[in-house]
Structure 1
Amino acid sequence: MNGDEDWLTVGKLVAAQGMQGELRINPSSDFPERFTLPGQRWLKERNGEPRPIELLTGRQLPGRSLYVVKFAGVNNRNAAEALVGQNLLVPSSDRPSLAEGEFHLLDLVGLEARLQAEGPAIGHVIDLTTAGNDLLEIELLAGRRVLVPFVEAIVPEVQLNQGWLRLTPPPGLLEL
């Protein structure tokens, strides 16, 4: 596995936790087992190559979206702090199966955004943000960027195979 398409980023190491080498992870995956079940994962620095690391334990912080994990060989705060900023990866072949109407959020990047199924594109999905709800960052054809909540009331139709999604934004959402 060499290319970025071979990997899924499932979280980012954001801070050391305590003195025993634990780390906080901001997840970009809706599958908690990626942070709680022991096993091999990979870390990647910006512009670096993925390297294996063994996840020993993990737990979600109560009332928060963050997870606290412990990796093999990371035994103190200094070692943990050296990993902050790196992405946690799994092989792209490790994608869980989804039910009807569910999507891997990363598959939405690059889709055309339309107001009508047969209508022209008004922009493209360029990124995703998690802030309570998942938000699609859409670059409109006019060059402005808007954040659109990825909820069924606003994004009622996603056609991955055809490369588009349909928006039904409330008044003013695309003008913000």
Structure 2
Amino acid sequence: MPVESHVVARIGRPHGLRGEVTVQLHTDNPAERFVPGTTFVTEAEPGTGVPRELTLTSARLHQKTWLLGFDGIPDRTGAEGLRGTRLLLDDETDDDEDDAWFEEDLVGLEAVTPAGEHLGEVVGLETGPAQDRLVLALADGTEALVPFVEAIVPEVDPEGGRVVVDAPPGLLDLGREG
């Protein structure tokens, strides 16, 4: 059986002149994932020249943002070329927690109410310092951010192709004009 990989971060903009980059986290345990010497498989747009693997040389937290440095990326120009690249690790390096979900496990699932009424579809997962948020494309064409906590998302059923969203009144209307 092949080992699956999961996205642990997406590279953002360069930081400074020495090749460090900011990352958008897709893991709840960055301190254990970002250990110098760790080699990540990369996913990047074809033709960008991003190596298939990047080996971490440095990792530090700076003003609530993780900054990573990689072998072979010595300067800001090289770091800029990594923007948008996804960093993946094999399943075997991830925790086997029952409540741990990866973005690729959630995207495409139907969002329904506890009564089974269609709300929309999960189109993303935003990780945050306090809690993660599901990004839903609602049936009316708008998007909503839903705190990914058990009180609001009591059931995640990938085999059934759905997540149950028990949103308090008004949550799905936040950010709408009108």
TM-score range, shorter chain: 0.7 to 0.9
1:21–1:140 distance in 2 versus 1, CA, 3 Å:
closer
- Equivalent residues in 2 for 1:25-174 (5 A)? 25-32=23-30, 33-47=32-46, 51-61=52-62, 63-64=63-64, 66-91=65-90, 93-94=91-92, 96-116=94-114, 119-132=116-129, 133-174=131-172
- The number of residues matched between the two structures is 168
Q: CA deviation at 1:114?
A: 1.5
Q: How does the TM-score come out when normalised to structure 2?
A: 0.77
| Alignment check: 8 A CA contact 2:26 2:102 kept | no
Q: Which amino acid aligns with 2:120?
A: G
Q: Distance in 2 between matches of 1:44 and 1:164?
A: 26
Question: How far is 1:50 from its partner?
Answer: 6.1
Structure 2 residue ranges without an equivalent (≥5)? none
What letter is aligned with 1:59?
R
Question: 2:18·2:75 contact (CA, 8 Å) conserved in 1?
Answer: yes
CA distance in 2, matches of 1:151, 1:123: 18
Which amino acid is 1:29 matched to?
T
**TM-superposed deviation, 1:163:** 2.0
Cα distance in 2 between the residues matched to 1:17 and 1:71:
13
Hey, what does 1:3 align to over in structure 2? none
List structure 1 segments (4+ residues) > 4 angstroms apart after TM superposition: none
- In the aligned structure 1, how far is the partner of 2:13 from the partner of 2:92? 26
Pair 1:26–1:101, CA change in 2 (3 A): closer
Q: Distance in 2 between matches of 1:82 and 1:105?
A: 24
For the residue of structure 2 that corresponds to 1:161, the secondary structure is coil
Q: Cα gap change, 1:79/1:145 in structure 2, threshold over 3 Å: closer, same or farther?
A: closer
Aligned-partner residue type, residue 6 of structure 2: L
Greater displacement, 34-43 / 44-53: 44-53
Question: C-alpha root-mean-square deviation of aligned residues, in Å?
Answer: 2.6
Residue 52 of structure 1 deviates from its aligned partner by 1.5
1:94 Cα shift? 4.2
Quote the Cα distance in structure 2 between the aligned partners of 1:77 and 1:129: 26
Contact 1:44/1:87 (<8 A) preserved: yes
